[in-house]
Structure 1
Amino acid sequence: MQAIVYEFIGTALIILLGNGVVANTSLQKTYAGGAGWIVITFGWAMAVFTGVYVSAAESGAHLNPAVTLALAYLGKFAWSKVGGYLLAQIAGAFTGSLLVWLTYKKQYDASTDAGAIKATFCTAPAVRSFGWNMLTEMIGTFALVFGVLHIASPASSLGALDALPVALLVLGIGLSLGGATGYAINPARDLGPRIAHMLLPIQHKGSSDWGYALVPIVGPVLGSALAAMAYHLLHMP
């Protein structure tokens, strides 16, 4: 149970700080308005560092269904525990978004751009094309999971300090691959906040765009599976 609690806490921290930096740069009447992509990608990297470091010793710091499923496929995590981890991750992501909304409540009230408001919760493509958007999420998640599997391997693991290379990996993905879809690379990161966007009483929020919601779920799951298979093939005895 403690591991599940820390999965919840770690994921909530990631979304609190990750979506928090998006809110700080995107909403009206904030001090960081218009700060841009570099600030957002660095903010997300620091968010991942914090979430991973806090939860690594207690839960293994999956904090992402794509990571949990890859580890289960490789026999490094029990399938019987997968459901609990996935629920904790989605609930943590929802809670993190709720805390962002509470933090920036007055800025949400002052903002009238529905797209900017939604961006503080969930992802959306710069150019809408489901097939290509799906491929982008697959590639980004492949890079994430393949990198994480090597970072966390017994030969190279630094324990809780693995949080730093994982954060740098997320920073690289954001800077290099993130501009097409907003780099969800984590189904819980998108789904939990999208549910929050739908439920919270936000003025001028517009649609939660559930027609797109499968892309940041299915794309990362497929990318994770490919990364796990590639890792398995490269490390077969």
Structure 2
Amino acid sequence: MSSSDIFIGETIGTAVLILLGGGVCAAVTLKRSKAKDAGWLAITFGWGFAVLTAAYLAGSLSGAHLNPAVTLGLAIEGGTKWGNVPLYLASQLLGAMIGAVLVWVTYMGQFKAHLTDPEILAAQPAEEGMIDQKAAPAAGPVLGIFSTGPEIRNYVQNVATEIIATAVLVLAILTQGLNDGGNGLGVLGALITSLVVVAIGLSLGGPTGYAINPVRDLGPRIVHALLPLPNKGGSDWSYAWVPIVGPLIGGAIAGGLYNVAFK
């Protein structure tokens, strides 16, 4: 596959992934949304279907990695050339940021209604509205639409959770036998992967919100920091390294384990 195929496929695919995945988070979170309070099942299945849609779109172009942890695992396994890894990662980050902006555009009115609602503002610590202070607030009232955060902030546990969940995802992809040579998941592989993502969300997503994808978290977190949202609060940069480091370690472990146990 050409560099242009990788760039177009990963950018569009990751943008759709974040648009649909972030979109279900917005639908469940924001006031004046018809899906308000639909719950965790809606989020997990929404993300699963987001993966399915994005993989179908990007598979024929780039192999539909859509995730640096997957790219790293495939590079270690040997199905992706190391020279293509930087292009994959840059395209994925760009796509994730585009997708996050599209979520904001889609729910623009709901964001405004939510972030100016007296009940929402009253539930936030007063300093969360101060985004320019040196000691930035941990998380604003809509950050969960854009990025993940732990229920219990214990960095060792949080990283371990992301490592375990991502290793399951990447190993499930590698053992399908459909990614040889970086030629994509295939139709059945995309469906299997989407169901694995649902399973991870239901079983392992409770502690951290299951980023399992560094750009899924980093790209939208950057967009959250840049968007002109009133009373949006902080972007929790003190936690931002966890959903980057954990998934990358998990992807590397899965690639190594595949080479040892399945080749």
TM-score > 0.5, shorter chain as reference: yes
Q: Percent identity?
A: 50
1: CA distance, partners of 2:210 / 2:40: 12
Matched pairs, number: 235
**1:151, 1:166 within 8 Å by CA — same for their partners in 2?**
no
**2:140, 2:235 within 8 Å by CA — same for their partners in 1?**
no
Residues 76-128 of structure 1 show CA distances to partners (whole Å, capped at 9, x for unaligned) of 11111110110000110010000000000011001134644101100000111
RMSD (Å) for aligned C-alpha atoms: 1.5
In structure 2, relative to structure 1, the CA distance for the partners of 1:79 and 1:106 (3 Å cut) is same
Residue 235 (structure 1) shift = 2.5
Q: 1:41 aligns with which of 26, 39, 44?
A: 44
Structure-1 residue corresponding to 2:192: 165
Structure-2 residue corresponding to 1:197: 224
Structure-1 residue corresponding to 2:157: 132
1:13 aligns with 2:38: no
Structure-2 residue corresponding to 1:101: 104
2:248 partner SS: helix
Structure-1 residue corresponding to 2:129: none
TM score, norm. by length of structure 2: 0.86
1: CA distance, partners of 2:185 / 2:155: 38
Structure-1 residue corresponding to 2:68: 65
- The one-letter code of the counterpart of 2:191 is L
2: CA distance, partners of 1:210 / 1:39: 27
Residue 5 (structure 1) shift = 0.7
2: CA distance, partners of 1:224 / 1:42: 22
**1:65, 1:89 within 8 Å by CA — same for their partners in 2?**
yes
Residues 112-170 of structure 1 show CA distances to partners (whole Å, capped at 9, x for unaligned) of 34644101100000111111000000000010001011124479x97233111000000
TM score, norm. by length of structure 1: 0.96
1:151 partner SS: coil
The answer to which of 158-167 and 173-182 deviates more is 158-167
1:216 aligns with 2:243: yes
**2:159, 2:242 within 8 Å by CA — same for their partners in 1?**
yes
In structure 2, relative to structure 1, the CA distance for the partners of 1:140 and 1:121 (3 Å cut) is same
1:77 partner SS: coil
1:28 aligns with 2:31: yes
1: CA distance, partners of 2:41 / 2:232: 25
Residues 187-226 of structure 1 show CA distances to partners (whole Å, capped at 9, x for unaligned) of 0100000000000001121000110000000000111111
Q: 2:148 aligns with which of 123, 135, 156?
A: 123
- The one-letter code of the counterpart of 2:76 is Y
- The one-letter code of the counterpart of 2:93 is I
Instruction: Give 5+ residue unaligned stretches, structure 1.
Output: none
1: CA distance, partners of 2:71 / 2:197: 17
- The one-letter code of the counterpart of 2:13 is G
